[in-house]
Structure 1
Amino acid sequence: MAIGYPTGDAYDPFRRSWDLGPPPGQNYPPFWDDGEDVRTGGGGEMARFLLEDVRSFVAAKVRVNPEHQGLFGHSFGGLFALWLLFQNPKAFSHWIAASPAITWEESFLLDHLSRFDASAARAYVHLSAGEWEGDHLAPFQTQAPDAAERLKEKAKTRTIAAAQEMAAALSKHPGLTADYETYGGENHMSVLPVAVNRAIQRVFALS
């Protein structure tokens, strides 16, 4: 089951920033002229909605196995998934974070990692990113007017390196099995359908 918004666009960036941004969050300039300030930090309510409301809704529709459930998130969703793992590692048996925004807001997620206790958890964590989310631009981006700015942003976000480092750190916890995969020929947006397909495979292939 996927969670989205009542919009004809691919997603609602304003609501998504709040819903998937772990607390305490920060304030940012509006996305649009005359728009509201963008806020992050509503991840606690999203977690409650997901674990209580959504689970109850799904369980009323189909038969589910409470011991074998997975959570998938891409980009901000990947950040949210990892944050929820640190808060409640028993909530899911499989955690899939594709292109997670680990370095978002001064890499605060690493503080959660440093305090993480997975001693009572038994879970599988899969992190991934597209080939063109590392130090190099995708071929179609190399001649773009903003190529230099894109490279500077890549050096800041470190999507591939941060995900690899996170997988290595999580694999040191005895209760977790963690790994990382790079999807060839994909960038931050094109990686999504590939990552969704792999997430389904991972959840149903590993117990």
Structure 2
Amino acid sequence: MKFKPILFAGLLYLWAIQSCTSIAEDASDWRVATLPIAQQQDIRSAATGQTYRIFISKPAVEPPPEGFPVIYVLDGNVLFYPVSMLVHGQSQRREATGITPAVVVGIGYPTQRMLDEVSRAEDLTPPAPDLSDTGDQRAPRQGGADRFLDFVEQELKPLIAKEVHINPQQQALFGHSYGGLLTLHTLFTRPQAFQVYIASSPSIWWNKQFILTEEQAFMAASSLDLSHSRLLLMVGGLEQGRPVATDATAPGNTSTQRRQMVDATRELASRLQQAKPHGLSTFYQLQVGENHGTAMWTGSIRAVEFFMGRSDKFNAEVSQP
């Protein structure tokens, strides 16, 4: 199957494609904007029964003998655009940036919205024995991460490999929020699926921090060699707020405060750095001045740098807030 050129509307993405649009004389001259470096197609998964909108950006140069690096981006409807434009733009000046041509694959849904809240809550949250009180009261279905990963591994990766020559030893996974949770779940349960894991503002709070149970099992696993694998954990400095009140119903005790995003992310990074399980290298960055929404955008920049090997820009050790 061939990917079709991407068409999308709205001022949200004009910052990324301003060189590809022109000023119209009147409203009747406006057209849907096109992202010239990318294609998309909708595919239905046998593993999940869900239809996904897959976005792909391929370098306009011949691949090296070993193939191109590839980064898979969750919440592709919104995050594919900045990541693909960053990789494309920065690789044009690779002597200065250190970023080489790479393939970007976005995994999204057939919707005009930025996020499909219902579908992503099901696909990006881990299966757990008890899903009765996960902390997410809006999502009717949760816990489908393993089915989603079966789709990625068994259906999507082979499709991408037919489209472009991929280096199977240079594959990254990047996700924000629930996407960050899915990234951690993948590392802890299928650690050899990717070599680079980038979790931005991961929803560690989900289901009473169930992901930490998976962390413990990952730590105790045997016969794993992750000496060539890297993990970047990021969180916005404004994602936590004031300390939690003793009374959970006290005024001002918002979900941001209850979820303790900064503490949870920093503590996880510290544990992984100290234990270095199976040779895994873990890096951490507190994005000062960013909230949960803005950390998604700044995290995209950091994700591209980390994906392409710029680990020197990140903290080798967790620093205190």
**Structures share fold, TM-score greater than 0.5:** yes
Q: Choose which of 160, 174, 198 in structure 2 pairs with 1:96.
A: 198
Residue in 1 that maps onto 2:56: none
**Structure 2 residue 235 is the aligned partner of structure 1 residue 121:** no
Separation (CA, whole Å) in 2 of partners of 1:134 and 1:156? 8
Task: Write out aligned runs for 1:44-193 (5 A).
Answer: 44-116=146-218, 117=221, 119-122=224-227, 123-136=229-242, 148-149=251-252, 151-171=253-273, 172=275, 173-193=277-297
Structure 1 or 2: more helix by fraction:
1
Contact 1:74–1:97, Cα closer than 8 Å, also in 2: yes
Aligned residues: 192
In the alignment, structure 1 segments of 5+ residues that lack a partner are 32-36, 138-146
Q: Choose which of 13, 18, 22 in structure 1 pairs with 2:122.
A: 18
Secondary structure of the corresponding residue to residue 168 of structure 2: coil
Contact 2:203–2:261, Cα closer than 8 Å, also in 1: yes
Deviations 1:39-92 (A, max 9, x none): 101101110111121111211111111011110010001111101111111111
Change (3 A) 1:134 1:203: same
Separation (CA, whole Å) in 2 of partners of 1:194 and 1:56? 31
Secondary structure of the corresponding residue to residue 191 of structure 2: coil
Separation (CA, whole Å) in 2 of partners of 1:154 and 1:189? 12
Tell me the C-alpha RMSD between the 2 structures.
2.3
Residue in 2 that maps onto 1:34: none
Query: Bigger radius of gyration, 1 or 2?
Result: 2
Instruction: Measure how far apart 1:189 and its partner are.
Output: 1.0
In the alignment, structure 2 segments of 5+ residues that lack a partner are 1-104, 244-249, 312-321
Structure 1 or 2: more strand by fraction:
2
* TM-score (ref. length: structure 2): 0.56
Instruction: Measure how far apart 1:30 and its partner are.
Output: 7.1
* TM-score (ref. length: structure 1): 0.85
Instruction: Measure how far apart 1:155 and its partner are.
Output: 3.0
**AA matched with 2:237:** E
Contact 1:27–1:40, Cα closer than 8 Å, also in 2: no
Change (3 A) 1:148 1:132: farther
Separation (CA, whole Å) in 1 of partners of 2:125 and 2:292? 18
